[in-house]
Amino acid sequence: MGKKYNAAVQKVEARPYSLKEGCALVRELHCAKFDGSVDLAIRLGVDPRHSDQMVRGSVLLPHGTGRKVRILVFAKGEKEKEALEAGADYVGVDEMLEKINSGWVEFDRVIATPDLMGVVGRLGRVLGPRGLMPNPKTGTVTFDIAKAVNEIKKGKVDYRVEKAGIIHVSIGRVSFGSEQLYENALAVFDSVFRQKPSTAKGTYIRKVVVSPTVGPGITLDEGTLRPEKVAA
């Protein structure tokens, strides 16, 4: 590890931090020269191997993500025109299928109209592992294309628990103010709490770490993840 990283490690005390404290400190721990992201790793007390314990959702961050998102829309006819007018970066069907099957993946989010999901499903081996497959639960399978595109541009992010029971989600950039990161994080936790499966037993949120792209992580106090529980 470099000197900057080791110096950043020294700033982190061996204790859980409140969410507000963590969002303030994480900005000081970034060791890279670029404007990296600030990410949450949320370990849940669920078993994703069981379909009734899958935690998946989306949330509109109050202050956005701080990055330009390239949006691909599978649509035709009037919906294709609607997508272009809303600001989608790539729109089409056959041409997009051909490009993706040829190895092109220069996009960050994918939206599709319901009538085209049978076609989009052929790309499961490419989109699935990257977490890009459109899904009704995240609002990316819809006929309201303009709304879906606009929400993503404003800062809507998707999350999904991984096999190890962990959710990884970005809450902004290190250039954000600590209050912006805090409010974005609250929005994420509010959504994750609402997605708690009825079959999940025991402690739902077991551990949370916030960290910059390059830098050490900060363990958060699970009791401070809702606004009414933040210590004064």
Burial 13-47 (b: 16+ CB within 10 A, else e): eeebbbbbbbbbbbbebbbeeeebbbbbbbbbebb
Q: Phi and psi of 85, rounded to 5°?
A: -65, -30
Q: What is the pTM of this model?
A: 0.84
Interior angle at CA 100, CA 117 and CA 113, nearest 5:
20
Token representation of residue 39: 């990410």
Render pLDDT for 157-180 as a digit per residue (tens, 0 to 9). Answer: 999 999 999 999 999 999 999 999
pLDDT tens track, the chain, 232 positions: 578 889 999 999 999 999 999 999 999 999 888 899 999 999 999 999 998 999 999 999 999 999 899 999 999 999 999 999 999 999 999 999 999 999 999 999 999 999 999 999 999 999 998 889 999 988 999 999 999 999 999 999 999 999 999 999 999 999 999 999 999 999 999 999 999 999 988 999 999 999 999 999 999 999 999 885 444 3
CA atoms of 46 and 205, how far apart (whole Å): 9
pLDDT for the residue 1? 59
Query: Could you tell me if residue 202 is left (phi over 0), alpha (psi between -120 and 50 degrees) or otherwise beta?
Result: left
The whole-number pLDDT of residue 230 equals 42
pLDDT of 232: 38
Q: What is the pLDDT of residue 228?
A: 59
List, in order of start, the domains of the chain with CATH numbers: 15-65+156-229 (3.30.190.20), 71-153 (3.40.50.790)
pLDDT for residue 229: 45
Which residues contact residue 3 at a Cβ distance below 8 angstroms, ignoring those fewer than 6 apart?
none
Residue 74 pairs in a beta bridge with: 92, 112
